[in-house]
Structure 1
Amino acid sequence: MAELELGSRFQRRFLAARQLRSFPWAELEQKLRARPGSPLLAEILQKHESTAAEPLDELYDALADILNEEESSHGYKNYLLPTGECVTLSESVAIISGGTTGLVTWDAALHLTEWAIENSSVFSNRRILELGSGIGFTGIAICKTCNPKAYVFSDYHHCVLEQLTENIRLNGFVLESEPTRPIQTEPQSQEAEATNSQKPKLIVAELDWGSVTEEQLLDLQPDVIVAADVVYDPEIILTLIGMLQKLSASRADRKPPEVYIAFTIRNPDTYHLFQAELDKVGIGWQIIPAHSNSIFLYDMQPNVTILQLFI
């Protein structure tokens, strides 16, 4: 059982393209030396014994040879879900790329997704609007695990929108604005028709919080609004709150949407400013209790909070 658990830890880190130092190398070396039955592992150990290199150096070199690393602006990461499926993303290898930070997956998105999976009833058969979708991790994971009726991904930067669209397709989804797949020559079974009917309707929208009008928001009419890591700058905070006010005004007498915003508290002053600005315009808020499940990998446990807003 311990060996299976160790193998699973390596698998999750490898698929998620985590940094090499986060792998449990020391535990692996102990296992190899305790049970050197594998010819491949014995060969690795023999190589080590014939050199003056430290064991971890030898393992790193071997892994680098396998990966045949080349410089690239993008790489692929795979995030395993509890269902056994995974979310595959093309991500930037740099934190800032193309003048935006939206081409990587941030810890708040992982945290929000873990909460969503634990509270899937919030999203089941409902219309979801995500603000600042980035490259799509949260939305794709929710679509694969929470059975929403429709999911609207939104962002503004053109590079982010292009990468977002690519990642949605990469995970097997067809966007609402895209042509449907070719008609099958044979009629579908009832089971296949039922499966297709259960797939959520996916839309990618270009949304500029500062210039979007209430009339433009009328078409969205979400039941739930989510966002991750969009609270990090005072100017963005004011624009975000203005956007939420417009969404509230464009309800067309419908029930107001539930709003959940996750963010890493990097600067407590920014966090308190967000709360103060919400209070100033009469938007209520409450802190969502921490969820119990930990699905994804973190270099260190982030200081992430989820607020529910009442608009």
Structure 2
Amino acid sequence: MAPEEIAEAESVLQSFERRFLAARTLRSFPWQSLEEKLRDSSGPELLLNILQKTVKHPLCVKHPPSVKYVRCFLSELIRKHEAVHMEPLDELYEALAEVLMAEEPTQCHRSYLLSCHFEKVRWMESHNVCPSEIGFLCAALTPLRPIQPSGDSVTLSESTAIVSHGTTGLVTWDAALYLAEWAIENPAAFAHRTVLELGSGAGLTGLAICKTCCPSTYVFSDCHSCVLEQLRGNILLNGLSLEPDTTDPERHPGHNAHDTESPRVTVAQLDWDVVTAPELAAFRPDVIIAADVLYCPETVMSLVRVLQRLSACLKDQQAPEAYIAFTVRSPETCWLFTNELGQTGIPWEAVPHHNQKLFPYEEHLDMAILKLIL
């Protein structure tokens, strides 16, 4: 196989792996590229590799996605194969038979890889590697540890329903992925600092930061009890130690302040409408982040009020930075947010779009990150 063909096949394989582990919609998969590859003599081999990188992936076996999702994926994979090849692949039918017998749980898993095949491509391009050699080198370097970033993966247990227990915080939204990518590309913004996340939801952004950006302390927060319960579970699921719920970091002498490899992690119940300035001041954050919390005027006003309280109660320390990521669904909502920031005297600027592309999400969405100085 020519180097260009190797690179193309590797790209298709990586796309299937990342989208499947994250349980993205099936229509987002590169099916057309797969169909073109299936017409080659190496088509069946590519299908078997896809099976190993998806349904048979160690992360999937240990933390499976929705049974319905796996069933639909395998059915589509079989249809694509049958449309080109007369000879069936027993491995595909055996995998489908297994999932047909499985029961659907109320919780499923999504996994996000924190290292990327395309990091190798960018590294080789920056070192003037000939384009015709990139495909060959990518295949040869696959067993090697990725150059950036240092983490491995984040796995989340999520509800199979978008709205569950009266909240949307039990699933991961695209702006959380977008903010996590930016953080991984800009670790200095979080290294050795105390980070307070507002509206953590399922925890993807915070877990990615904890694994790749070396914060000294990370405070996840949300207001819904079911979200907090799931959030604690996801933190433990990803191998992080969880300290008791508190707003005072000094009350836990058991924490090793010299352990720079693992941040001190806490979860706090935080209702933006009732939290007091002293309670916020006790966190003493250096950085504040939030993702996908600007979905209606009511939450915009609540967020601005809590940011204003944080700004007022942290006058005795260096002004913290805040990074607010959101999907631009309504220009009116975005205008309301920036206008209210201006009314309260909180300066802001738009963060340039980043180059990191680790996570699969809808690329046509208009997403933004605002940097605020409190």
Relative to structure 2, which stretch is displaced further, 276-285 or 155-164? Answer: 276-285
Relative to structure 2, which stretch is displaced further, 128-137 or 169-178? Answer: 169-178
CA gap of 1:65–1:281, structure 2 versus 1, over 3 A, is same
Match of 2:243 among 170, 173, 176: 176
- Residue of structure 1 equivalent to 2:3: none
8 Å contact from structure 2 (residues 235, 241) kept in 1: yes
Deviations 1:12-47, CA, capped at 9 Å, x for gaps: 1221112223222333333233115858969x9899
Say which SS state the counterpart of residue 275 (structure 1) adopts. helix
- Residue of structure 1 equivalent to 2:172: 105
Q: Report the alpha carbon displacement of residue 266 of structure 1 after superposing the two structures with TM.
A: 0.6
Match of 2:343 among 274, 277, 280: 280
CA distance in 2, matches of 1:46, 1:139: 39
- Residue of structure 2 equivalent to 1:295: 358
- Residue of structure 1 equivalent to 2:161: 94
Deviations 1:152-177, CA, capped at 9 Å, x for gaps: 00000001000100000000001122
- Residue of structure 1 equivalent to 2:294: 231
Q: Report the alpha carbon displacement of residue 218 of structure 1 after superposing the two structures with TM.
A: 2.1
Q: Report the alpha carbon displacement of residue 230 of structure 1 after superposing the two structures with TM.
A: 1.0
- Relative to the length of structure 1, the TM-score reads 0.84
Match of 1:2 among 5, 8, 19: 8
- Residue of structure 1 equivalent to 2:218: 151
- Relative to the length of structure 2, the TM-score reads 0.71
CA gap of 1:3–1:20, structure 2 versus 1, over 3 A, is same
- Residue of structure 2 equivalent to 1:19: 25
Deviations 1:132-158, CA, capped at 9 Å, x for gaps: 000100000000010001000000000
8 Å contact from structure 1 (residues 261, 306) kept in 2: yes
Relative to structure 2, which stretch is displaced further, 297-306 or 159-168? Answer: 297-306
- Residue of structure 2 equivalent to 1:116: 183
- Residue of structure 1 equivalent to 2:41: 35
CA RMSD of superposed structures (Å): 3.2
Q: Report the alpha carbon displacement of residue 239 of structure 1 after superposing the two structures with TM.
A: 1.3
8 Å contact from structure 1 (residues 175, 203) kept in 2: yes
- Residue of structure 2 equivalent to 1:190: none
Relative to structure 2, which stretch is displaced further, 9-18 or 96-105? Answer: 9-18
Say which SS state the counterpart of residue 90 (structure 1) adopts. strand
Q: Report the alpha carbon displacement of residue 300 of structure 1 after superposing the two structures with TM.
A: 3.7
CA distance in 2, matches of 1:26, 1:164: 37
Aligned positions, number: 292
CA gap of 1:132–1:4, structure 2 versus 1, over 3 A, is same
CA gap of 1:107–1:46, structure 2 versus 1, over 3 A, is closer
CA gap of 1:197–1:65, structure 2 versus 1, over 3 A, is same
Say which SS state the counterpart of residue 15 (structure 2) adopts. helix
CA gap of 1:93–1:60, structure 2 versus 1, over 3 A, is farther
Deviations 1:114-135, CA, capped at 9 Å, x for gaps: 1111111000010000000001
Say which SS state the counterpart of residue 34 (structure 1) adopts. coil
Say which SS state the counterpart of residue 5 (structure 1) adopts. helix
- Tell me the percent identity: 53
Say which SS state the counterpart of residue 266 (structure 2) adopts. strand
Where do 1:134-283 residues align within 5 Å? 134-177=201-244, 196-251=259-314, 253-283=316-346
State whether structure 2 residue 364 is matched by structure 1 residue 308.
no
State whether structure 2 residue 196 is matched by structure 1 residue 129.
yes
CA distance in 2, matches of 1:49, 1:109: 38
8 Å contact from structure 1 (residues 102, 135) kept in 2: yes
CA distance in 1, matches of 2:342, 2:314: 21
8 Å contact from structure 1 (residues 218, 252) kept in 2: no
CA distance in 1, matches of 2:277, 2:308: 9
Say which SS state the counterpart of residue 153 (structure 1) adopts. strand
Q: Report the alpha carbon displacement of residue 194 of structure 1 after superposing the two structures with TM.
A: 11
Say which SS state the counterpart of residue 283 (structure 1) adopts. coil
